[in-house]
């Protein structure tokens, strides 16, 4: 059974068993990058009642930088979205706009799935 709270340090991380403010597992390395170094863009509708989202995988950014990049991408597309688990989801079909944004940043882009 993992320690969740300690009177000495407060909340404890169940993964690394360190105090929450000194957690080492939250500062995990950046999300994995594909072997060819390309960022994958995909349009998905599955499980979203037919509504499209544009999914960006393989950016290779840690969580704070990934959230900042997602915020800039959402502003560029004029829509909402989310960043979690190394994946950015932008609401709507924005493959062209995100391709241009990524190429302007000097990244190699591949469109996947149809």
- Each residue of 5-43: pLDDT tens digit? 556 767 777 677 777 777 777 655 556 677 888 999 999
Enclosing domain of residue 5: 1-28
Higher per-residue confidence, 32 vs 79:
79
| pLDDT (tens digit per residue) in 90-107 | 999 999 999 999 999 999
Evaluated on CA atoms 40, 43, 47, 52, the torsion sign reads positive
Check whether residue 8 and residue 47 sit in a common domain. no
Domains of the chain: total: 2
Q: How many Å apart are CA 17 and CA 8, to the nearest integer?
A: 13
Check whether residue 56 and residue 89 sit in a common domain. yes
Model confidence pTM above 0.85: no
CATH number at residue 81: 3.30.780.10
Q: At a CB cut-off of 8 Å and minimum separation 6, what does 92 contact?
A: 52, 53, 54, 77, 79
Check whether residue 7 and residue 51 sit in a common domain. no
Q: How many Å apart are CA 92 and CA 69, to the nearest integer?
A: 17
Cα atoms in the Cβ-side hemisphere of radius 13 Å centred on 87: 10
Determine phi and psi for 22, rounding to 5 degrees: -120, 30
């Amino acid at each position: 059974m993992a320690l969740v709270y300690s009177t000495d340090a407060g909340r404890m991380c169940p993964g690394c068993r360190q105090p929450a403010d000194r957690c080492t597992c939250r500062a995990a390395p950046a999300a994995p990058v594909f072997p060819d170094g390309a960022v994958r863009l995909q349009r998905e509708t599955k499980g979203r009642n037919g509504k499209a989202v544009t999914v960006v995988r393989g950016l290779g950014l840690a969580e704070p930088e990934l959230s900042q990049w997602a915020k800039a991408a959402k502003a560029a597309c004029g829509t909402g979205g989310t960043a979690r688990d190394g994946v950015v989801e932008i609401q709507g079909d924005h493959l062209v706009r995100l391709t241009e944004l990524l190429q302007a940043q000097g990244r190699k882009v591949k469109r996947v799935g149809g």
